Amino acid sequence: MSKKILIVDDHPDIVKMLVRKLRKIGWEYETAENGEIGVQKALELQPDLILMDMQMPVMDGREAVRRLRKKGFTGKISALTASVLNQELEQLIKDGFDYYITKPIDKSFISQLKEILGTD
Amino acid sequence: MKNKYLFPVLILCTGLFLSIWFHSSTTSQNNRFIQQEFRLLAENRYLMIKESLDHHWTVLHSAALVFKTFENISREQFSAFVKPLMHHYPNIQALSWVPRIKDEDREAYETLIQKEGFSAFMIKEKHGKRMIRRERSEEYFPVNYIEPFVGNEKAFGFDLASNLTRRKALIEVRDSPVEMLASARITLVQEAGKQFGFLLFYPVFKKNTQLSNIDSRRKGLRGFANGVFRIGDMLNESKRGNTELQAFDITLPDKPENLFSSTKSPVSKIVTKKTINVAGRSWQLVFTPTDSFVKKHERKLAFIGLIAGVTFSFLLSAFVYNLLNKKKQVEEKVQKRTQELYESETQIRAIVNTAVNGIINISENGKVLLFNPAAETMFGYTADEVIGQNIKMLMPEPYKSEHDGYLKKFIEKGKSSVIGTGREVIGQRKDGSAFPLYLSIGDMQMNGKRQFVGMVIDITKRKEADLELIKAKEKAEVANRLKSEFLNTMSHELRTPLTVILGNIEELLEIEELPDPAEIVDISQDVYKSGIHLLALINDLLDLSKIEAGKLDFLFEEVVVDEIIEEVIKTMKPLAKEKKLELHYQGKQHLSVRADPLRLKQVLLNLLSNAVKFTDQGSIAISSVRDNTMINIQIDDTGCGMKEEDLEFIFDPFRQIDNSMTRKIGGTGLGLAISKKIIEKHNGSITVKSQPDRGSSFLFSVPSYQGEIEHE
């Protein structure tokens, strides 16, 4: 079953790498280079899952989630973070994220997404 | 020590003197009193004696008058006349008539008397103890009539002239123009041993006798009325029990004769002497008081006074001695205590004056009572300026206005958060400046009134140190936070290229699932790029940490500015050309700096590449200029510029303003931080000026080359 994923990340090489993986399993995808564009696209496309980078110019991940939740977005949002501090990771859930995936991603990345979306 | 005895002895002497004086004065006064009293008594008795004697003379005079008047009076008539008189005057031993008998009439006279019935009568004289017939003489004076006759028989016919004493008296009274004459004392035959007597002769002359003519008197003498008197009885008659009497016949002053003595030895020195004329003789009457009189009038007061005085003197003296001793002890004690107090006071004063902490003592209404030198130094006031003033003058507002209220509240309620403890407050100096001080207050009672003692410590320095400590702590905390932030950021920065590398390589791990060759090349290029970035990051991090740890070696030498800038421009030219940017150097001043050429080139490359990266159109200009001992090198661009608030962080690690820019342009975010460190190692500095969309201008300075290069 095809899923629609929105990738919000300012690093083009990372976006490119993630797109390769999604394309391979046949899922739909959309990309945004900062939080502001991300919010806009998420409300417009209503993706099944948003993969949200944290440190971005213009609008960071945290602010983007806050805005989405404020505007009634109920879809799943997973943080994609390079942070390793437990304190920061715990804070993500409080900020409105449903999950977090840490960088660098490993081989289980796709199965992690499937698990989040409840598909095989 | 001398004083200890002087005063008591003085008192004793004075006391004794006064006692004795009192005694003697009282005694003599008493004596005078007794003497006066006694003199009156004696006088009285003397008068009585005199009166008594006069009476006796009168008796004899009366008897004589009888003979004078009646020439031939009979024995019976005489007796009848004299007897009643003598009954009244029992002290008269005898009254007699002694006629003058001439020798030729002797026998006739004797015969006449014998015829009268006295057959044995004769004119006789005393011979030894016997009476014998009187030997022949010119004339005789025999005792004839005698009353009382009984008991006087022996004298009957006795010729008075036969006895020398009596004859002298008889002759004297016959020849002297006196009325009568007394004899010296005689021993009374009847009263022998008991008392003396005396005779009183009263001459009786014939009528027509010229009494003033001796011859006429001798011829006209008929005889004598003779009285025999008992001296003792006569004098004793007036005895009253208070006086003793001694009588002397002092007619011959050289040979006084004792007449009478009522006592064997007079007991008192009080004497009253009276001389009385007894018919031509002088008797001295010596009156002395009797034992009982003396005892009766003796005043015990004087003696008691003496004893009491002496006793009192001793007691007083002893008491004063004791008192002085005690006084001295007390004085010594007081002196010692005073000395101790003085020392203690001096010590406390010295402590207060020496104390490094300010000591201020105030009354319950806030008046300053004590202000020690340390407090003077602290507040800039002298003690004189503060003492008597309200303590609030040492406080700034609002404490100044509130202080009276605090005091009042404490006095009323007895509760305060300050008393007994200490706390930090603000003080105000004379010059008006405020300063922090630590104040501890104790309260005490002085003379029933409450007082407060404040100990003040100027804590300006401590406060400053505290502040510096807090600053240092904050700085350390900031450094720590920055370090941990830096590590977090570094981790993030390293993970990003690693994510690209690992995520892509995954696609090439299964030979069955290999993508097409064009895709493989694309993946490989991405992986390679990220690897290169990762290497640059690691190199920059190493550089930075080496510089910070001081482990990066700098080799200073003379570096010609023009040369090194030209070199860098040569390197950067292709990139600038690619972006169609002008790159020019204004300078050529032939300046040289003292620098490590490799590191200086690194800085120039970093700044120049940044300028090229962030500038999309326009030009980049480099200039160099001497500023005193420093050489200033400036790089200006016409790029995107930066906001004012971002400028202060620009030299911190990983503080790129816009991460997206980095993504596009590359760079580690450590270049400026490294450049700054390098410049600082050259004893130079780097600054930045920028305006958004107008461009940035980086300026750094390094010391000009001065000649010798010292190796570091």
Q: Which residues contact B650 (CB under 8 A, 6 or more apart)?
A: B642, B657, B672, B688
What distance in Å separates the CA atoms of residue B446 and residue B425, rounded to the nearest whole number? 26
The count of other CB atoms within 10 Å of the CB of residue B135 is 10
Q: Which residues contact A21 (CB under 8 A, 6 or more apart)?
A: A109, A110, B503, B506, B507
Angle subtended at Cα B250 by Cα B244 and Cα B255, rounded to the nearest 5 degrees: 115
Average pLDDT over residues B213-242: 82
Task: Tell me what pLDDT residue A41 has.
Answer: 94
Task: Tell me what pLDDT residue B273 has.
Answer: 86
Lowest pLDDT segment from B292-301, B373-382, B509-518: B292-301
How many domains does chain A fold into? 1
> How deeply is B59 buried, as exposed, middle or buried, from its count of CB atoms within 10 A (0-12, 13-18, 19+)?
buried
Distance from CA of B525 to the nearest CA of A (A): 10
Residues of A in contact with B486 (CB under 8 A): none
Q: Is the pLDDT of residue B241 over 80?
A: no
A:B CB pairs within 8 Å = 68
Beta bridge partners of B390: B367
Residues of B in contact with A33 (CB under 8 A): 660
Average pLDDT over residues A69-92: 88
Q: Is the pLDDT of residue B659 over 50?
A: no
Task: Tell me what pLDDT residue B660 has.
Answer: 46
Task: Tell me what pLDDT residue A43 has.
Answer: 93
Task: Tell me what pLDDT residue B190 has.
Answer: 66
Q: Name which of A17, A58, A83 is nearest B500 (Cβ-Cβ).
A: A17
Domain that holds residue A23: 4-117
Average pLDDT value over all residues in chain B: 84
CB contact under 8 A, A14 and B504: no
CATH number of B459-552: 1.10.287.130
Residue B543 gets the label, from left (phi > 0), alpha (psi -120 to 50) or beta, of alpha
Q: Which residues contact B85 (CB under 8 A, 6 or more apart)?
A: B59, B62, B63, B95
Q: Name which of B499, B523, B660 is nearest A104 (Cβ-Cβ).
A: B499
Q: How confident is the model at residue B628 (pLDDT cuts 50, 70, 90)?
A: confident
What distance in Å separates the CA atoms of residue B391 and residue B364, rounded to the nearest whole number? 11
Task: Tell me what pLDDT residue B422 has.
Answer: 82
Taking the Cβ of residue A120 and every Cβ of chain B, the question of whether any pair is shorter than 8 Å is answered with no
DSSP string, B287-326: EEE-HHHHHHH--HHHHHHHHHHHHHHHHHHHHHHHHHHH
Architecture of domain B16-298: 2-Layer Sandwich (3.30)
* φ/ψ (deg, to 5) at B106: -60, -55
Q: Is the pLDDT of residue B693 over 80?
A: yes
Long-range contacts made by residues A79-84, C-beta under 8 angstroms, separation at least 24?
Answer: A79/A52, A79/A54, A80/A9, A80/A51, A80/A52, A80/A53, A80/A54, A81/A53, A81/A54, A82/A54, A82/A55, A82/B491, A82/B492, A82/B495, A82/B496, A82/B499, A83/A54, A83/B488, A83/B491, A83/B492, A84/B488, A84/B491
Task: Tell me what pLDDT residue B266 has.
Answer: 65
ipTM confidence: 0.91
What is the fold, at CATH topology level, of the domain defined by B553-703? Heat Shock Protein 90 (3.30.565)
Q: What is the pLDDT of residues B506-555, one digit of tens each?
A: 889 888 888 899 999 999 999 999 999 899 888 888 888 888 888 888 88
Task: Tell me what pLDDT residue B240 has.
Answer: 67
Average pLDDT over residues B260-278: 78
CB contact under 8 A, B500 and A107: no
Q: How confident is the model at residue B559 (pLDDT cuts 50, 70, 90)?
A: very high
Q: How confident is the model at residue A1 (pLDDT cuts 50, 70, 90)?
A: low
Q: Name which of A17, A55, A56 is nearest B503 (Cβ-Cβ).
A: A17
Average pLDDT over residues B491-509: 89
Q: Is the pLDDT of residue B419 over 80?
A: no
Residue with tokens 């028989």: B153
Task: Tell me what pLDDT residue B417 has.
Answer: 67
Q: What is the pLDDT of residues B666-677, one digit of tens each?
A: 567 788 888 999
CB contact under 8 A, A10 and B496: no
CATH number reported for the structural domain that contains residue A92 in this entry: 3.40.50.2300
Task: Tell me what pLDDT residue B710 has.
Answer: 52
Lowest pLDDT segment from B86-95, B485-494, B662-671: B662-671
Task: Tell me what pLDDT residue B316 has.
Answer: 84
Q: How confident is the model at residue B3 (pLDDT cuts 50, 70, 90)?
A: low
Task: Tell me what pLDDT residue B665 has.
Answer: 53
Task: Tell me what pLDDT residue A38 has.
Answer: 93
Q: Which residues contact B530 (CB under 8 A, 6 or more apart)?
A: A13, B497, B498, B500, B501
CB contact under 8 A, A10 and B506: no
Q: Which of B208-217, B271-280, B688-697 has the highest mean pLDDT?
A: B688-697
Q: Name which of B503, B526, B530 is nearest A105 (Cβ-Cβ).
A: B503
Q: Which of A13-27, B285-299, B643-657 has the highest mean pLDDT?
A: A13-27
B357-457: same fold as B16-298? Answer: yes
Average pLDDT over residues B286-299: 77
Average pLDDT over residues B217-240: 82
Taking the Cβ of residue A93 and every Cβ of chain B, the question of whether any pair is shorter than 8 Å is answered with no
Distance set, CA B442 to CA B356, B417, B418 (Å): 18, 12, 9
Lowest pLDDT segment from B79-93, B103-117, B569-583: B79-93
Q: Is the pLDDT of residue B655 over 90?
A: no
Q: Are B26 and B347 in contact (CB under 8 A)?
A: no
Lowest pLDDT segment from A18-27, B187-196, B652-661: B652-661
Average pLDDT over residues B280-293: 83
CATH for B357-457, options being 3.40.50.20, 3.30.450.20, 3.40.1160.10, 3.30.70.1400: 3.30.450.20
CB contact under 8 A, A13 and B526: yes
Q: Which residue has the higher pLDDT, B561 or B491?
A: B561
What distance in Å separates the CA atoms of residue A64 and residue B38, rounded to the nearest whole number? 154
Task: Tell me what pLDDT residue B521 has.
Answer: 93
Domain chopping of chain B, boundaries: 16-298, 301-354, 357-457, 459-552, 553-703
Distance from CA of B489 to the nearest CA of A (A): 8
- In percent, how much of chain B has pLDDT > 90? 15
DSSP string, A23-42: HHHT-EEEEESSHHHHHHHH
Q: Is the pLDDT of residue B712 over 50?
A: no
Q: Which residue has the higher pLDDT, B56 or B531?
A: B531
Distance from CA of B502 to the nearest CA of A (A): 7
Lowest pLDDT segment from B117-121, B259-263, B346-350: B259-263
CA neighbor of B670 nearest in space, from B575, B551, B541: B541
Composition of chain B by helix, strand, coil, percent to 5: 50, 25, 25
Q: Is the pLDDT of residue B577 over 50?
A: yes
Q: What is the pLDDT of residues B325-341, one digit of tens each?
A: 888 888 888 888 888 88
